[in-house]
Amino acid sequence: MADNKFDYYLDGKTAKWEVIIGLEVHAQVTSSAKLFSGSSTKFGSDPNSQVSLVDAAMPGMLPVINKFCIEQAVKTGLGLKAKINRFSKFDRKNYFYADLPQGYQISQFKFPIVGEGKIVLDMPYGTKVVGIERLHLEQDAGKSLHDQDPENSFVDLNRSGIALMEIVGKPDLRSPEEVGQYVKKLRSIMRYLNTCDGNMDEGSLRADVNVSVRKQGSQQLGTRCEIKNVNSIKFMQQAIEYEAKRQIDIIEDGGTINQETRLYDTKKNETRSMRSKEDAHDYRYFPDPDLLPLVLDSEFIENIKKTLPELPDEKKLRLMNDFGLSSYDASIIISEKDISDYYEDVAKNSDYKLAANWMIVELFGILNKEGKEIKDSPVSAVNLSKLINLIKNGTISGKIAKTVFEQMVQKNENPEVIIEKSGLKQQSDPKELEIIIDNIIKKNQDKVIEYKSGKIKLFSFFVGQAMKDTAGKGNPQLINNILSKKLK
């Protein structure tokens, strides 16, 4: 299962092919109001109820920028270990569409707010560093509904003007699996920072996927196609697989790839060229004359740096160094801020490794089975922490703890209470155990002789008897110790 080498190469008719992928991720900024207007950004509201005059591009309307959205972009840039550009400008990207009331989108073209950065991925074959080209702020568009009426489309501008961060990754990804990890890591970083909630079903996070192929070993980049607006990791991965094969087939049949924009059809699992096949959009970018350049002073950036929470990569290192967790366990714990918060609540009062183990194996087992997120965990961190302490201090065995845990899942009861009520306390009194063990030894003298003469396997017989005689509650460690002493 643990592959040590990267091996995502596709078999063509004539050669093995490598897939090159670059993502442009659009992440909705977590903020109360929109980027250039004061309307609410809440998801799922009554259509056209969160639309101001500016969002609707009424005559004479002008944009005024939201200070907090700037902070969120800088924060995200810092989380991506990227260069924050102190000077940036807003440009108009001009095109016509029903969900774009101004007839242009306010974006950043020449001078984005954030420059180059990187994201580190933990792959089975090692760490992979994926480059970030830039991050810029822009307006989101509204939504058009095409399936409500046979002749018409309906336009809802609630989303029009919400702040987006466009995060352009370098074409460093080489497999659907890497793409999945990239999106998860990016999402996780933004959730840690609280700059984007990463909710792909609500459209807070979407990606345009650029795919090209080349023969394994080649250094040239092939012509890429852009698959627009994919809103789930699974679809991204499926789209990439389809598109890579499509391109390989074309090239091997002697054709060339047309650089074009495509859509992923989730039902047919294929990509197709977009109908609006007119000549490539000429966006005629020019600086927006309604806005002035954005100039950030270093104090502003420093203040944001100071407020940054611990990011996943740093937390992972700390969990490994200070908490002694394995790289694997640490990766799982840091994968979501909610998980790492839960872990730290558990671990602050109990054994680090046991805490990690219990979360990853037992707790996640339950959560997965019930389709729950950790924020809806039936067992609180406090109680799990108590359970672990009860194991650690010998009150119960690990085996008994599992039974107790099952009961905790039912109603998040304090394990101490459960143990009291069910009398599941471990038998850890050495004197008591000695008596029981002495008894067993007395009753099984023949086995004792056999053991002493070399049949060491019989040790487990004695352990088993001791467990039986303690109704399963005997402290295994103590039993072992006492037996070892007495059977010498």
Partner 1 sequence: MSINKETVKKISKLSRIASNEEFENSMIKDLNSILKFVEQLNELNTSNTEPLSSVVDQKLYQRDDVEKKINEKKDILQNSPVKNENYFVVPKIIE
Partner 2 sequence: MGEITKLTLVNLVSKIKSKEISALDACSDYVNRIVKSKKLNTFVTETLEQAISSAKKIDDNNLKEGILSGAPIAVKDLFCTKNVETTASSKILKGFVPTYESTVTSKLWERGAVLLGKLNCDEFAMGSSNETSAFGNVINPYKVNDENIVPGGSSGGCSAAVAADLTVATVGTDTGGSIRQPAAFTGIVGLKPTYGRCSRWGIVAFASSLDQAGPMTKNVSDCALMLDAISGFDEKDSTSANTKKEEFLKNLNRNIKGLKIGIPKEYIVDDMPKEIQDLWDKGISWMKESGAIIKDISLPHTKYALPTYYIIAPAEASSNLARYDGVRYGFRASGKDLNEMYENTRSLGFGNEVKRRIMIGTYVLSSGYYDAYYLKAQQVRRLIKNDFDLVFKDVDAILTPTAPSSAFKIGEKKDDPISMYLNDVFTVPINLAGLPAISIPAGFDKSGLPLGLQIIGKPFDEQTVLNSAYALEEKIGFKSQVKDWWM
Judged by the rule CB under 8 A, the positions of this chain that interact with partner 2 are: 53, 56-65, 92, 94, 96, 98, 101-104, 153, 155, 282, 284-286, 289-292
Burial 386-395 (b: 16+ CB within 10 A, else e): bbbbbbeeeb
Can you tell me the distance from the alpha carbon of 178 to that of 120, in angstroms, rounded to the nearest whole number?
A: 11
Q: Does 275 bind partner 1 (CB under 8 A)?
A: yes
Which CB sits closer to partner 1, 113 or 251?
113
Number of CB atoms found within 10 A of residue 172's CB: 19
> CB of 157: closest distance to partner 2 in angstroms?
9
> CB of 92: closest distance to partner 2 in angstroms?
6
- Say which entry of partner 2, partner 1, none residue 299 contacts (CB below 5 to 8 A, set by partner kind): none
Which CB sits closer to partner 2, 294 or 332?
294
Number of CB atoms found within 10 A of residue 63's CB: 18
- Say which entry of partner 1, partner 2, none residue 60 contacts (CB below 5 to 8 A, set by partner kind): partner 2
Which CB sits closer to partner 1, 201 or 279?
279
> CB of 66: closest distance to partner 1 in angstroms?
5
Q: Are 400 and 472 in contact (CB under 8 A)?
A: yes
* 8-state DSSP, 311: P
> CB of 58: closest distance to partner 2 in angstroms?
7
What pairs with residue 87 in β-bridges?
295
DSSP output for 213-257: EEETT--SPPPPEEEEEE-SHHHHHHHHHHHHHHHHHHHHTT---
- Say which entry of partner 1, partner 2, none residue 219 contacts (CB below 5 to 8 A, set by partner kind): none
Residue 9's Cβ-count burial label (10 Å; 0-12, 13-18, 19+) is: middle
Can you tell me the distance from the alpha carbon of 446 to that of 458, in angstroms, rounded to the nearest whole number?
A: 11
- Say which entry of partner 1, partner 2, none residue 320 contacts (CB below 5 to 8 A, set by partner kind): none
Q: Does 193 bind partner 1 (CB under 8 A)?
A: no
Q: Does 299 bind partner 1 (CB under 8 A)?
A: no
* 8-state DSSP, 121: E
**Helices (DSSP H) in 5-47: which residue ranges?**
none
The contacts found for 457-463 with CB under 8 angstroms, 24 or more apart, are 459/483, 459/487, 462/437, 462/487
Site string for partner 1, 33-62 (x = CB under 8 A): x----xxx-----xxxxxxxx--x------
Element (H, E) at 265: strand 261-265
Q: Are 397 and 475 in contact (CB under 8 A)?
A: yes
- Say which entry of partner 2, partner 1, none residue 275 contacts (CB below 5 to 8 A, set by partner kind): partner 1
87-88 and 91-94 strand pairing: unpaired
Q: Does 121 bind partner 1 (CB under 8 A)?
A: no
Which CB sits closer to partner 1, 140 or 156?
156
- Say which entry of partner 2, partner 1, none residue 57 contacts (CB below 5 to 8 A, set by partner kind): partner 2
Applying CB under 8 A, among 14, 32, 298, 477 the residue interacting with partner 1 is 32
In terms of phi and psi (left: phi > 0; alpha: psi -120 to 50; beta: otherwise), the region of 438 is alpha
Which stretch, 32-40, 248-256, 315-323, 341-349, contacts partner 1 (CB under 8 A)?
Answer: 32-40
Q: Does 186 bind partner 1 (CB under 8 A)?
A: no
> CB of 154: closest distance to partner 1 in angstroms?
4
Which CB sits closer to partner 1, 302 or 446?
302
Q: Are 42 and 29 in contact (CB under 8 A)?
A: no
Q: Does 150 bind partner 1 (CB under 8 A)?
A: yes
Q: Residues in the site for partner 1, rule: CB under 8 A?
A: 31-33, 38-40, 46-53, 56, 64-70, 89, 96-98, 144-146, 149-157, 263, 274-276, 278-279, 282, 284, 287, 289, 291-295
